[in-house]
Amino acid sequence: MRLAQYLALTGLCSRRAASRLIRDGRVSIGDQLANHVSRVELIQTSSGQQASLTVCVDGQPQPPIADKAYWMLYKAVGTDCRLQPQDPASLLHLLPGQPRLYPVGRLDKDSRGLLLLTNDGELTQRLMHPSYAHHKRYHVRLDRPFDDAFIRQMAAGVSYKDVTTLPCQMTRLSPDSFEIVLTQGLNRQIRRMSQALGYKVVDLKRVAIESLTLGDLPEGEMRELTEQEIAMLRASIE
């Protein structure tokens, strides 16, 4: 098996990201530095399929190929999606030791809602890459009521700094709240779009990623996806 594929199957990252790690000289097999044509031979163990020689990234041995796991978390405000063990607010402290799970994208620390967690590197790659233009749905409340011109401006695309956002779907929910469906994933996009039009976001909640919805999951809780949810999510990224 090609080394980049092996690293993706362990859940470390996508295959493309694994190729970059190899290119940058951060991966070794046994006592040899790996390159772009390196391959691994697999052996079956009680804990899964692993390489016959130890594969290390930045000097850290990588685990066997794990069974794929898919979870959703209702992230609360204050949880940081960066996996930093020294940060008591880090998402890392909410995740199980096994299987190793990684968030698909991020939610700002001051935002809440649906966060998809998985060790499926290929699924992560497809959901994250901008060329696939997957839909993410949010409910947003502003600091004051807005008029219909705001809805039209947001839907058409907003310019701030050196970017102009793509057109998006907008639906009013109340005098001061709306639903927005994005296919982009720019940093703090909704907050910056709103700010550019003179408003401040006071609550931002992601309620859906493609076919996957938050439903009635309590805030701060997580659960495994059902087989039907996994199948529908996979179908939406084909």
CB 66 within 8 A of CB 99: yes
Note every long-range contact of 126-130, with CB atoms under 8 Å and residues 24 or more positions apart, other chains counting.
126/237, 127/209, 127/210, 127/237, 128/14, 128/104, 128/185, 130/184, 130/185
Q: Is 108 considered catalytic here?
A: yes
* DSSP-assigned beta bridge partners for residue 140: 178, 204
Beta-carbon count within 10 A of 149 CB: 9
**Catalytic residue (one of 24, 108, 120, 162):** 108
Report how far residue 197's alpha carbon sits from residue 189's, in angstroms, rounded to the nearest whole number: 13
Residues identified as active-site: 108
